[in-house]
Structure 1
């Protein structure tokens, strides 16, 4: 009876943690179906909304690793609640935004910072509370599945809310979910006390954040000024090189850098991080490009666009539910390679079907394949990265894993979105999809170099990703 009570208590704790991952992933994709509505209401352009989405994803990527350090210093439960509160304020501010600037402040900055503050505790608390290996693996499976479903269902739920009410109501929905999570999260207890002496590498935080921002902003500038794009990309690369020199020097001096250089020396983990980055780039890039094309070029409304994306949600849900069973039968490398093959095939079908058919449902088969492919490989990629390190480095590698994944999301929206919004024609759509397919081939190549002897069913030893 005691074990049953403990199980129910842990399940009750898992619900708010999984919901937190869901709403943060949902926020990254639900605006894709509101492009026309937001741009018309706020008197801006689709490119302006694209920048808003990209900055939100970029803020998460830039602050995810320091977010994990802050939780160690001030406490996991405290940071979880603070992040939720900040996110909720951002959602409310976005709902009443009179212009693009306030929307960027609410959605991109406040929600982005709130997410970076609340997501690390989700995975840290899961690691600390679910101490048995099998139960921990199942808990991470639920959280990662909710993250994927949130990202894939964002267009559908956002489209329904926008069509029935308006785009502002979608942010009210987010705020209400945040209130629900705070109420459900009252049962969560932090197993470890905060460590006020935990150092935070401010220099590393600034350099890594500035470097990533410059790179992504350089991509966004591609359709306006080629020289500016090149300058920002070069400058961003130099700042990131400075960041690596900084953490190496700090480590040699006996200090504690933002992240240890040892996490970059593991070949298997590095390949796994490439696959994670590529997967989220494909998910968010495809979501933005298809949604923008259907609304701006084909003239579909939010509900039509959202319903079409049900195919991707269904595919991801089916493959996520089957992930545990597949992991017991197939090696992780096999699942990741198969996932990339199916996803790239889905992008090819998207390109072919939209070109030959004017039907509103022409995108459904391709989106279904994309959802199936991504769902198959999301969890194995996390397992590969997390299982490459011992328990003492799980905090660092999981923070890097989430940062790399969120950077992939922002790059997907920036790269593919910039190609499309440059002209908003069928040719631009084709160019954006071909670019995504090419990036997918790069991810497939990285997956092919993963060790063949990665055992099936290896559970993640600690935290997963956004």
Structure 2
């Protein structure tokens, strides 16, 4: 990144801004899991049918996942600070609406609104860090904190969701966002966005329509596959529509003068490697959150609060891996040597969890498995978050940040649907094989469920290994330099030229 008057001198308020940005990011990440724990209580109170309950999760995922690229482009066009604050206020108001919901329509509407404002907030937060922290060592620390929150926030949501649901009321899983948003709004007074970092090119309307519809179709396809099956007509139609729309989006972006997503953001091999490996890692992780929550509550009989605390080793591992291992090594070794081994350590943790059975010891198997998973993910997430905006032109920072969030959202939707389907198939197969010899139907049901979880976790191990291979094979940037931008710009430029896909004319 070339030095300008703005980027040459570090922003004096950058660390204060980081505190507010981290709070806002925590609020968004918490929301992905905190509502899951409250869902059974909310369903009963509001009279939501079993067939419709998935829409509490799906409405949020569709709006968030579908509008992320648009949100990132709005941040580039409108200014990251303004987009961040509008997203924050909107998210808080949508949360208040959800907490006050009196029927299912009000609940679904509030969740969709949360997704819309989250799609503004998340890319603006990450791109603010990208343009505010330019020194390599400071950038490492800032992204270490951000990476720990991005990775561990989901597990924190399980603890907080358990507490609020058990001791207060499910409505507080929504209301809790309001104090977070009020505190994070302090960012308005400390953020000084570098001038000249905006992209004032006209908005690419065809790109907005095609990407939003394509991502919504993709996320809904995976969400529906989980409940209706992979061969369901509407599920297949959604996947076909997503493929056609996203292909049309790529063709459009290669031809229009001011694309929503400049293909140069995707086709530089390091960023492409980050988006792909991070998406795969999230697929593995989201599925595991769901399985372990069910295993601990249904099989082990843990309360919601105890279940939340059972995830503490993963949070501790994430924070340690991100803020200690990742931050200390990021300026000393190439990112692939943190990401690849990080995903492999996480895979070893996941491998331990394939040993789940009815009598598995928490201390001997689950605790070390979650600790290794957290350590590995934390170590890998931190350079991934930084590298996703590495060497990017300031005008593209918002949309590059949106791609990180998109890979996480789509990865989460795929992970939940794919691994759940694998678990369900293995559970059915186990019942068919053992039903004739079973003496206790309840015991058979639990054994079949755990067998299904273990089968799906084996797939998650393979997905994490694939993420490690992609990170090591595709990411080739060297050790970050000490100059502005936090990267070795010469090798970066070389890598970008070397991997440019020929279709990109600009």
- TM-score above 0.5, yes or no: yes
Which of the numbers 180, 183, 192 marks the counterpart of 1:180?
183
* Aligned position for 1:69: 73
Residues 45-102 of structure 1, C-alpha deviation per residue, up to 9 Å, x if partnerless? 7785555334423432322221122223333332222111110111112212234443
Is 1:237 matched with 2:239?
no
Task: From 37, 40, 46, give the equivalent of 1:33.
Answer: 37
Q: Does 1:325 align with 2:349?
A: no
- Residue 205 to residue 180, structure 1, CA distance change in 2 (3 Å): same
- Cα contact 1:283–1:374 (8 A) shared by 2: no
Kept in 2, the 8 Å contact 1:33–1:295? The answer is no
2-structure distance, mates of 1:183, 1:450: 39
Which residue number in structure 1 is paired with residue 288 of structure 2?
Answer: 286
* Matches of 2:484 and 2:463, distance apart in 1: 26
**Distance in 1, Cα, partners of 2:79 & 2:477:** 38
Using the alignment, how far apart are the partners of 1:272 and 1:95 within structure 2?
36
Superposed displacement of residue 204, structure 1: 1.0
Aligned to 1:312: 314
| Mapping of residues 234-273 of structure 1, within 5 Å | 234-250=240-256, 255-273=257-275
Q: Helix, strand or coil for the counterpart of 2:232?
A: helix
Question: TM-score under structure 2 normalisation?
Answer: 0.79
SS of aligned partner of 1:363: helix
In the TM superposition, residue 133 of structure 1 has moved relative to its aligned partner by 4.5
Matches within 5 A, 1:383-394: 383-387=386-390, 389=392, 393-394=396-397
Report how far residue 434 of structure 1 moved.
Answer: 2.7
Distance change >3 Å, CA 8–CA 240, structure 1 → 2: closer
Distance 1:395 1:353 in 2: 42
Query: Using the alignment, how far apart are the partners of 1:40 and 1:349 within structure 2?
Result: 36
Relative distance call for 1:395 and 1:177 in structure 2 (3 A) is closer
CA offsets 1:24-60 (integer angstroms, 9 cap, x no match)? 1111122333343334444447785555334423432
Q: Do the aligned residues in 1 keep the contact of 2:273 with 2:475 (CA within 8 Å)?
A: no
From 194, 211, 214, the equivalent of 2:214 is: 211
Alignment of 1:131-142 (within 5 A): 131-142=134-145
Query: Which residue does 1:437 correspond to in 2?
Result: 461
Q: How many residues align?
A: 452
After TM superposition, give the deviation of residue 207 of structure 1 in Å.
Answer: 1.1
With structure 1 as the length reference, what TM-score do the two structures score? 0.86
> 1:340 maps to which residue?
343
Aligned equivalents of 1:443, 1:317: Cα separation in 2: 21
What residue is the counterpart of 2:129 in the other structure?
Answer: 126
The reply to whether residue 227 of structure 1 matches residue 229 of structure 2 is no
Paired position in structure 2 for 1:163? 166
- Deviation string 1:270-305 (CA, Å, 9 cap, x unpaired) is 222211112222332221232134334554321121
- In terms of mean alpha carbon deviation, does 38-47 or 277-286 score higher? 38-47
Q: Map 1:135-150; keep pairs closer than 5 Å.
A: 135-150=138-153
Partners of 1:444 and 1:129 lie apart in 2 by: 29
CA gap 1:341/1:139 in 2 versus in 1, 3 angstroms? closer
- Measure the CA separation in 1 of the matches of 2:191 and 2:124: 11
The answer (yes or no) to whether the contact 1:289–1:416 under 8 Å persists in 2 is: no
Cα gap change, 1:27/1:403 in structure 2, threshold over 3 Å: closer, same or farther? same
Alignment correspondent of 1:446: 470
Inter-partner Cα distance in structure 1 for 2:483 and 2:288: 29
Mapping of residues 92-131 of structure 1, within 5 Å: 92-107=96-111, 109-131=112-134
Contact 1:54 1:413 in 2 (8 A): no
Identify the match of residue 384 of structure 2 among 377, 381, 395.
381
Separation in 2, partners of 1:311, 1:230: 39
After the TM superposition, which of the residue ranges 32-41 and 276-285 deviates more from structure 2?
A: 32-41
- Stretch of structure 1 that moved more, 205-214 or 389-398: 389-398
Q: How far is the alpha carbon of 1:112 from its aligned partner?
A: 1.1
Task: For 1:22 and 1:460, locate their aligned partners in 2 and report how far apart those are by CA, in whole Å.
Answer: 28
Aligned equivalents of 1:360 and 1:18: distance in 2?
Answer: 32
In terms of Rg, which structure is larger?
A: 2
Q: Does 1:199 align with 2:202?
A: yes
Does the 8 A contact of 1:33 with 1:305 survive in 2? no
Tell me what 2:303 maps to.
Answer: 301
- Structure 1 partner of 2:494: none
Aligned twin of 1:426? 450
The structure-2 alpha-carbon separation of the partners of 1:37 and 1:310, relative to structure 1 and needing over 3 Å to count, comes to: farther
Q: 1:310 to 1:232 in 2, by over 3 A?
A: same
Superposed CA deviations along residues 197-244 of structure 1, whole A, max 9, x for unmatched, are 541112111211211222222222324241322232122111111111
Segments of 5+ residues of structure 1 without an aligned counterpart are 1-5
